[in-house]
Amino acid sequence: MIIDSVRRRKTSTFIPIKGLVMKSTHSHIVSKKRATALHLGATALSSALLLTASAVMADDAPAPAKKLNTVKVEADAIGSYKADKLSSPKFTQPLVDTPQTLVVVKKELFQQQAATTLSETLRNTPGITMLMGENGNTSTGDSIFMRGFDTQGSIFVDGIRDLGSISRDTFNTEQVEIAKGPAGVDNGRGAASGYVNLSSKVANQEDAISGSVTGGTSDYARATLDVNKSLSSSTAVRVNVMKQEAGVDGRDEVENNAQGVAASLALGLGTDTRTYINVLSVEQSGVPDGGVPTIGLDGYYNAIFATGALAGQTPKRVDTENFYGSTGDFNDVKANMVTVRIEQDLAEGVTLRNTSRYGRTNQDQLLTGINAVTFTTPVNPDSWTISRSRQGKDQTNQILTNQTNLTASFDAGGIKHDLVSGVEFIYESQLNYTMGLPFTSANSSTTVTQAPANLYNPSTSDVFQPVLRTGAKTDGETTTYAFYAQDTVTLNDQWELSAGVRADRFHTKTDVITRQAAVTAPAVQTIPVGTLVASDAHLTDDLFGWKLGGVYKPASNGSIYVSYATSELPPGGANFALNTTNASNNINNPNLDPQKGTNAELGTKWNVLDNKLFLTAALFRSTNENEIATNPDGSSVAVGEKQVEGVELGAVGSLTEKWQISAGLAFMDNEITRGNRTVDDPNTTANEASGNNEGGAIQWSPKTTFTLWSSYTFDSGLLIGGGARYVDTMVSSSIVDPLAQSTRSVLEFGDYWVFDAMASYPFSKNLSLQLNLLNIADEDYVASLNNGGSRYYPGAPLSARLGVNFSF
């Protein structure tokens, strides 16, 4: 065991510069990381062996035989749901021999489902839910919560981190890859849950034209075009374009519009030296959604209906189509990236790759959020109002990176090695201007207020206050230098061992400008109210991630594996915003240790039915340490720990030549094993107990989730498909003390099933008609909820898409 040792040097100074007060905080940290021991029980082992035996019998597999080489099978006209490998060169083995839960969603599947965004595509894997903003803010984009942990900062495009809280379109996506469990070796800093990677379409030597034109309910209109052209025996170009104008089913006024173009130029195809130049440009616009009040939902609580003027009554729900914002609200996104990848085959089985990318994303948003309900005249619901907040966002993210990767497959002493090693240099930045309502006067910290809306009959003709830059901003950047190496050793036909390490050296700098507010007496107001105050913080540290895996192959088409992996997420690692005041209860305090994620997993994978169907089963335990926790004396320290244990089952591929399936089932038992604790006193008040979450469930983490999609193709070419999604009951907060129920700090919202269906028919070999019916049972459900329980996004009701697909 290696015990953590930490040496710190910190200086803090105040520097007045022409009316600005500068506070500078520097923290330099050097640490050694500690690894926890692998712990798996006998129950897990016996369960995996039973699953293995069943899979072997299902495939009528022979006794252990020599491991076969991977054979690439060309897809049929329908296109298989099943993938055999990940796109990243860091994964050298086929999925069946990789000791980790990996889910691949190919374009053939999400195109059948009329799924056009990353969030919609991720419905094909269990254990993922979507977040809604807190503290008066409403989340935008792909706000992913996976296996109990926030994952929205761990989204990648072709193995490179994709920054910004935006919604990602899949028009230029070949497949979406979901790696579950900490992956510090793969990517460096990251969440304990894992990561999501979008693999882009690239130019190839096959001439092809395909696309679709689709219309639907809520004025939905979308068109895509994918053209690949071979220019010579070794050169090709590919262009993808997309245009969308659409409302949102079940929501008044909300709009999601987008347009994009992606181009890929490939040089040297079929030669030892290959170059890919890829360009992507996407623009999004529309009217964003501030949500719907939760009043009247099952589980809604307000004291006025318990002991107040309306005791014993039940308020009615608001119309789920109600829109509480302004038609002048907007969400404008511009995302651009240029990627150059060069591949050189140095020798048989040895390839050197170098990838460079520059990416820039800007989000300019004005949104009206909703907050608490005011019962002006309790006996008259027509007079009830809901407070509104005008939320602005002006954020720019940039990334400049260069990755060099060497893969080598060779024999040494009669043992086969598949070695991957590389170095990465990454510069990332985020500039976030603080937006707010105008100040009431010069040198004032008081802003004007936004008038509330009528709860049951909101009007878009209300007067809406403008949102302006306040002069405050946060400018953060991180520079990282990393080295990694992984080796998979094939000992014989039955046994493989793998090990990987990655070391990162990073420097994060955050410059903050805030506007001085009035201080509370008896403190002396030394800085005038309204003065812009500048401060900054620095953090330099090392991250270390590692993983170990062992694979046993009882037959050539299956495996049983065990693995252990780690990851780390330092302060500021999710948003480049170090806390400049060193607040002890702020996770971005530069003096805190990184959060540490670990995952122990035991699983089995099988290719059955002549390699057409892929079956997986895994038992896992994921832990995240060093989260902020509050001691009984009120002090805060980074000793919090969350733990998720569970089992995940999967099946993807073909049951017959005409019948395909993609299914996943996850059971998760989650708990805050170390958290905020209040004094164990029977006289503890509700307010004191409201912060107690140790022993509580992790929010947004349903115990059971299920996803299924299946399709059948008839001899006539008619294809019928359908699917179901199930999400179990979730809680919006982790408060566990019963006293907290009196303030309703915990809101639990119910489970739900959603069913979808589709049909397509080819009028010719080049043209087909596709109909999608979404939420065919018109299920009324909560798609996402905020922590406080004041607002939610309703799930989309019954809706339809009708499109024409073409291919040449």
Domains of the chain, start order? 102-529+550-807 (2.40.170.20)
496/23 Cα distance (integer angstroms): 54
- 37: number of Cβ within 10 Å: 7
pLDDT higher for 522 or 358?
Answer: 358
- 42: number of Cβ within 10 Å: 7
Residue 443 has pLDDT above 70, yes or no: no
Residue 4: Cβ-neighbour burial (10 angstroms; 0-12, 13-18, 19+): exposed
- pLDDT category of residue 486 using cuts at 50, 70 and 90: very high
807/780 Cα distance (integer angstroms): 37
Residue 688 confidence (pLDDT): 44
190-198 mean pLDDT? 93
Distances (CA, A) of 159 to 179, 185, 199: 12, 12, 8
Nearest to 760 by CA among 802, 709, 799, 708: 802
Residue 82 has pLDDT above 90, yes or no: yes
- pLDDT category of residue 58 using cuts at 50, 70 and 90: very low
Residue count (the chain): 808
Do the Cβ atoms of 178 and 144 come closer than 8 Å?
no
Residue 735 confidence (pLDDT): 58
Residue 550 has pLDDT above 70, yes or no: yes
Q: What is the DSSP letter of 165?
A: S
- Tell me which of 168-182, 264-278, 779-793 is least confident: 779-793
492/497 Cα distance (integer angstroms): 10
User: In degrees to the nearest 10, what's the CA dihedral of 159, 164, 169, 172?
Assistant: -40
Q: Is 90 helix (H, G, I), strand (E, B) or coil?
A: coil
- 539: number of Cβ within 10 Å: 25
380-387 mean pLDDT? 93
- What is the DSSP track for 124-142? GSSSEEE----TT----S-
Do the Cβ atoms of 321 and 291 come closer than 8 Å?
no
pLDDT digits (tens, 9 = 90+) for 678-705: 544 444 444 444 456 677 777 778 899 9
Residue partners of 53: CB distance under 8 A and separation at least 6: none
pLDDT digits (tens, 9 = 90+) for 492-538: 999 999 999 999 999 999 999 998 887 888 888 888 888 889 999 99
- 749: number of Cβ within 10 Å: 22
pLDDT higher for 689 or 442?
Answer: 442
Strands in 292-293's sheet, in edge-to-edge order, are 292-293, 791-794, 782-785
Place of tokens 């347009």: 259
Residue 152 confidence (pLDDT): 86
What Rg, from alpha-carbon coordinates, does the chain have?
27
Please name the helix (run of DSSP H) or strand (run of DSSP E) that holds residue 667, with its range, or none: strand 659-674
What percent of the chain is modeled with pLDDT above 70? 83
206-222 as b/e: b if 16+ CB within 10 A: eeeebbbebebbbebeb
Q: Is 528 helix (H, G, I), strand (E, B) or coil?
A: coil
Provide the token pair at 718. 């008619």
296-317 mean pLDDT? 86
In this prediction the pTM is: 0.87
pLDDT digits (tens, 9 = 90+) for 279-303: 999 999 999 999 999 999 887 888 8
Residue 72 confidence (pLDDT): 39
pLDDT digits (tens, 9 = 90+) for 133-188: 554 455 667 888 898 888 888 999 999 999 887 889 999 999 999 999 999 999 99
212/231 Cα distance (integer angstroms): 25
